Structures are given as structure tokens and as C-alpha cells.
Structure 1
């Protein structure tokens, strides 16, 4: 492997060495191993490939320096057990980003099984964009479970006494390819203790409904409400699901029965959708 003088970042020495490879695309799905001399069309292309490499291998890195013309990162494990590092910079004469120094293969023992910190919205958008361009009507979408989402549930349970949450994820795939270290958000259920306590004084009647969530979200918001003695509406449970399938309604209604209204003789009011009826039969 060619040794490079890091002080000569912008020199165009040895342009025809056989180890030099070019990547003139900004594809984030290039899983090939990095090497000194590998080039990328721009910084975003380099960072995308670096993130994808980290996600696929269940490892992480810490950014030491990130400027318009330089980037340096070390292994995120800071106990000295791993010497992985990478350095890349812009070559002004070519306009390409090149890996100038690379010490590959993480030797740290810590792996990332889910909620990879590098799976951010930019990465997701870059993964989804080729599919959308190929078929604008595609219904396939990729939603990553950010650690903040799970953290939101933990905050609710910690700072809202008695709040119940149930968070479900599933493995992530892209073009039938398993994305190691990433979990897809699937469904979430939550209910507040104050609502459950108040339900004990309501009529034994529960109305279940759903509404569409617009904007960047395509999931449904499912909710259960009750009526108090004065006829006022009391929300008692909520869920966000990918749709209104029997499994989605089963997820919501089973937790509604478990956490909110375990008593018998509850009257359920709904629009008698197929998914709701199937879930109630279960």
C-alpha cells in the first residue's frame, strides 16, 4: 500500500499508479473496502460510503476534523483498543476527494446491533431516492428507528409516572439486502395513567378510530376514547402503526385490553373495518 505524505494534501503525484481507483458516482451502496488512493466525486459521496460501511459492519467512528477540504476520523471506541482511522481530502487539481490515509479493520470488540447513530435522515433519503426515481409510484419506504425514538419512550415512562409504552421494530432491508445494525420503526402504543384511572369512572364503552398522518409520515394514528358521566370525551390510549391491517389492529387492541380495559362487558364502537373485526375475533 502506498505511503502518502499528509502534508502534501493537494499534490498530484503519481496520477497513474495502479492502486488508484475512481468512484465518479455518489452511490451510497458501494460496500467495497476502502483503500488509500480511492477517489470520490465529492465529500458527500465519501461520507455516504463511510456511513454505509460503518452500518454494514456494525461499527462506528468519531469525527476528529471535518472541513470543506479535509476529513479525519478515528474509531468511536476511545479506550485505545482500536487503531482504526481514516483521512481524506479534496484534491484541488481534480476536484475529487481522495483517501490519503487509512488503517482499516476495526479491532474493537464493541459492535452496534441496532439504532446505528450514522443512520440519519440524509442517509435514509439517499437510500430511498434511487427506488423512488426508478418507480415514482413505489409504495416501499424505509423508516429507521432512531435512538431518539426509543429515548422518547424512556423519557415518557421516567418523567410521566405510570405512562405505558410499547415500541416495536423489525429488521431493515433495502433491495432485499439486510442492513446490518439498523432497525425499522414499526409500531408504538402508549397510554397515560391519568387516562386509565379516569376510565374506571366512565361508561363501559370504548370507541376506536384512526386518522391519517400527513406530511413526511405515512403511518396511521389509532386511538381509543371513552365517555364520562357528563358525555365528555376522554382519550385513553394511542398507537402509531404502518397501516390498518389485522396485525396493526391486533397490536393496538391487545394492548388496550391488557393495560386499559381488562374488565368484561366492554362495548366497542367502530366502523367495523375488516382489520378491526379480525383483531376483535382474535
Structure 2
């Protein structure tokens, strides 16, 4: 029976209303509680999406929390795990001092700049982080035993402050990838690249005409020219064909350009060039030679590179290191710096043991690096390479 008593405003009816708020959020399920729950997930994967965390909380508590609350919880978890982004810049000084003291030969070039206060008023007494270059002694001594080329590239850091991580990567005779230098800069401009290349040349690469493979970025090209160092600059074919496809939007022509780049015989290269120009004639106002512009054949085609590239037609090596550091790139700056050290601490012993195993199997190698790298007082044992043969395409 339904009843109404208006005197005391009592209403007795079947309950038909629903509360959507209870299914969306709960006041006791605050950011601190969520932070405790998601801490293991954030530790395992700092790059985890906020929507994934929301789904996890919903599955565990049957409440769908707001995006803002989940985002705040993730930031709290990141700070507890890796420290505050602002405080990390001050902690960086401690890391630098520790590395210089306990890891002899570590090279660190840190530059600061004056702080622009409120209303763009320059406060000369305050200095803030500008850019930093670093490498380790074992990387410096490893490079002479690697193939004489480097791949360089830049990638974004995705923390609170969006800076750029610059990398230079080499490769030994057994195709092991070795990061040799790092830098964090505020912008990917000519000044930043010149800062990086100057220190790369000063501390790691002493020989002229070392092949440098990159994505044909205008700022990097300008920095190479301005540096005055006789690099042998060549370009990543993947970026070249991407630009070609953007301009012409023809998949068949794109495949022909790739075949030309990888071709080893000059006369076959010329035949492919003539065929492509014939296909493009009448369909575009710009010939392929005109599109190439200032690029020389040896800068993008393997048949004219005189072996300087050692078969490396892309920047895939440095892209691979970028992928390894993917989780690191979301962390505060001191964690990014320390992660490069500990990653190499893991890499060096594995590379050394690989060489020992190959030597025990009867392979003949040239003696390489046998100095220990210090990570808790120990690092790699050895690194060895074969002699290069262009005919056999081996190093």
C-alpha cells in the first residue's frame, strides 16, 4: 500500500530513483587511497595510461573514479617512487659528485643559465639547469674497438618538464649496440646539437671522417657545418623515403627509392635511377634529381658510400636505445641520468660474457677491451671485434 502523510512530510512509496554518483566515484576513495593501490603498477610501468589505472580501480572497488583523481594519484605515486621533479634538479648535483668520485673517468659537462623571475626580470644570482652532456670512461675506451660510425638522434622526455634527450650510439663487430654519449637539452636547435657534437668530439671521437648517421634534420646539419669538424655526414634512408612519400604520395616510386638506396652496384643504381625518372616524367614537374637537391649520392646510396656506413642505412640502432629508455623518459632528471649508468652496468657484463663464450667456441678475434667497469666495484670483462671485410660484409 502507498501512503502519504503530509504533516511530517513522510513519503512511503516504492523507491524508483537511482544515484549515478555512487557508480562514478566515492568520497572515501580519495587520491591517497588510489595511490597506494596503483603503486606497484606505476613502479612496473611509469608510462602506464591514466585510463588503464581507472579501469583497474573500477575492477577492484566497483567504482569509476574521475580522471582528475586518478591523475593526481599517479603523480603522487611517481613522486614517492622517483622523487619530486623540481627537487630532482637539486639532487642532480649530488649524483654528479658521486659519479665523479666513485666512477673515475666519468665525463659530465653541466651548463646553467640565469633565472628569469616574475615579469621576465633577470635574476642573475639564481642559476637554473640549461643542458648537460655526459659519458662514462668505459664507453670512451670502447669506441676505438667499435665500427667507425655513430648514429645520433633526439627524443622527448615526457615528465613535468619537456626536454630533449640526445644520444650517440655505436656498434661493435658482433653487432652489439653501445650507447656512448648522452645529453639533456632544453630545445633541439643548432646550439644544442653543437654543444652535443663538440663534447662528443672532445671526449670520445678523436679521428676525422668518422661517419655520422642521422635523420637529415636541418638544425643538426647546421651544427655539423658550424662545428668545423670533418664528419662524414650521411642520412637515414627511412627518413628520406618518408619525406619522398609526403611530397609525391606514390608507393611504387617510394619502393624504387628504397631499392636504389640499398643497391651495392653503381651501374645497377644508375639503371634504377633512369627507370624512376622515366616513370616520374610527365607526372610531376620536379625530377627525382631535382628533389634530391643538395644531397650527394654517397650520403644516401650504399653503392657510393665507400664502406663508411658499414651497411647501416637507418638510425635503427639509436631508435632501439630510445625504446629501451622509454620508461625512463617519464622520470625526473636525476633518475634519467642514473638510469643510463645502471643500464650500461647491465649491458657491459652481458657483452663481455658473450665475447668470452665466442672465444671459447673457437672464433678468432682481435683483442678488445678488458678493463672492468665499476658498478658496485665491478663491470664488464672484455669486448672484442673481428677485422672488417667489405667483400664479406663483416667487421
Q: TM-score range by the shorter chain?
A: 0.3 to 0.5
Structure number with greater CO (CA < 8 Å, separation at least 6) is 2
Q: Which has the higher strand share?
A: 1
Structure with the higher helix share, 1 or 2: 2
| TM-score (norm. length: structure 1) | 0.47
